[in-house]
Copies of this chain bind each other. A is one copy, B any other.
Amino acid sequence: MLLLQANVDDCSPEWMAHAMERLLEAGANDVHFIPVTMKKSRPGILVQVLCYRSRLEALKTILFQETTTFGIRYFPAACHRLARQFLTVKTAWGEVPVKMGYHRGTRVQCSPEYAVCARLAKEAGVSVKEVHQEALYLARQQLRAGE
């Protein structure tokens, strides 16, 4: 994988947000903005994009089109991604998929899908915290029963 970086000191934050959206749609694995202090007291932004090498050209083009940067640099990165499994839990507000991550055969992550929790929370008029904690609760129960 590659980590792309571009410094931006003359670009509206609104445009940056649009660039983020387009980069993600075009296959970036992650995009985030780091606040930085630049020369001449400019409160600029360091854009970081994580992607497969095969997406490099497409993502560079978007960065040049949508931001005001004149240069992009990139670094090759080794990556370790957890093996994943899913289960589904039934909350009072609807079903929620839960993503689990395994490291050397041991479950280390157990993460209810945020987007589903947020949708159910909105529909039911409860907080996303409530739905998320309940889904986590049920997932733990289910995993414990299966062990």
Contacts and interface: CB of A to CB of B under 8 A. Distances in A.
Given A15-B128, A79-B71, A7 B20 contact: no
A78 interface: yes
A90 interface: no
A13 B35 contact: no
Interface string A117-147: 0100100000111101110110011000000
Contacts of A132: 12, 15
B32 A37 contact: yes
Q: How large is the interface on A (under 10, 10 to 19, 20 to 34, 35 or more residues)?
A: 35 or more
B73 A74 contact: no
* Chain A facing B: main interface SS: mixed
A48 B7 CA distance: 11
Interface of A: 1, 3, 5, 7-18, 20-21, 24, 30-46, 48, 50, 60-61, 64-82, 84, 99, 101, 103-104, 108-111, 114, 118, 121, 127-130, 132-134, 136-137, 140-141
24 contacts: A10-B13, A10-B14, A13-B43, A13-B45, A15-B128, A24-B39, A32-B38, A32-B39, A33-B36, A34-B34, A34-B46, A35-B35, A35-B43, A37-B43, A41-B42, A50-B73, A65-B103, A65-B108, A68-B129, A70-B111, A74-B77, A74-B79, A134-B140, A137-B137
